[in-house]
Amino acid sequence: MTTFNLQLTSDEEQISVLQLTDSHLFAEESGTLLGVRTADSFTAVLESIINQDIHFDFVVVTGDISQDYSVSSYQRFAQYIATLQKPVFFVPGNHDDGPLMYRILGDFGVHTERSLVCGNWHFVFLNSEVYSVPHGWVERDQLAFLKKQCELYPHLNTVVLVHHLPQLVNSSWLDTQTMHNSDEFNSFISNFSNIKLVLSGHVHQEYDQFFNGVRYIATPSTSIQFEPFSHDFALDMQGPGWRYLRFDRSGGIDTQVFRLPSGRFIPDTGVGGY
């Protein structure tokens, strides 16, 4: 498995990265998730990013690109995201078909490498998907890959990207769908002092906490949002979102969440599940 080396275009002090997550696209452009046309909310997010003229070096997509495992959902994702005109990297989510997405997205110019070096930062892309069930699990081969990567680049600050946030969010229904071997995962990464950040999706809400010196971040979805701290399934009325991150040479991370204004993509709150 090769590592992609991304050369910065100028002598930048910081690496700027855009995170998009949980687009949940369908085979049909008209497909809806709990009442929201996910293709429309995704393209509206892309439009907003382009209109704001934000500088970023590359894009990371943290899973659940598709909602229906379809070839055309991945093809359209690749067509949409190409409008950003930057390199795109991804990890699979529980709603994705891992082997299919690697094949289709690779054919359409999305990067399929699972290791990226940019400046003095190293990004490692892991698979936590357990096919057709919502919870996650990081297999031993993934942990072995991470270990090998950390050993190859011990002098670089490292970011681990994985769909399932390996922390609970105090939302009972959603916490049953967490990474089920998160204790093993978190204990494993604590062995590597160069791992600074675990960057995830899945929880469809903003999250930013430190545990044992490692920062854990999750980001709002470009489609529907889950109500934070809700015991039962509930939707949040905040607009679709995305995240901007800057990584500086000394190991610092600065980040901000952006959202579309609420009211444009209103989910159906009468639905009792996801």
Nearest residue (CB) to Fe ion, 119 versus 136: 136
Among 22, 97, 129, 236, indicate the residue that binds Fe ion (CB under 5 A).
Answer: 22
How many positions of this chain bind Fe ion (CB under 5 A)?
A: 2
> CB of residue 230 vs Fe ion: minimum separation in angstroms?
16
> CB of residue 64 vs Fe ion: minimum separation in angstroms?
4
Only one of the segments 42-50, 61-69, 152-160, 209-217 lies at the binding site for Fe ion (rule: CB under 5 A); that segment is 61-69
64 in contact with Fe ion (CB under 5 A): yes
Closest alpha carbon to 39 in 256, 240, 268, 257: 240
> CB of residue 42 vs Fe ion: minimum separation in angstroms?
13
For the chain, where are the E strands, in sequence order? 4-6, 14-20, 32-33, 36-37, 58-61, 88-90, 115-118, 121-125, 157-164, 195-201, 207-211, 214-218, 225-226, 235-236, 241-248, 253-259
How many CB atoms are located within 10 Å of the residue 120 CB?
15
> CB of residue 183 vs Fe ion: minimum separation in angstroms?
23
227 in contact with Fe ion (CB under 5 A): no
Q: At 266, list the tokens.
A: 């209103």
Is the Cβ–Cβ distance between 180 and 135 less than 8 Å? yes
Amino acid, single-letter form, for residue 140 = R
> CB of residue 203 vs Fe ion: minimum separation in angstroms?
8
Nearest residue (CB) to Fe ion, 25 versus 156: 25
236 in contact with Fe ion (CB under 5 A): no
Q: Where does this chain bind Fe ion (CB under 5 A)? A: 22, 64
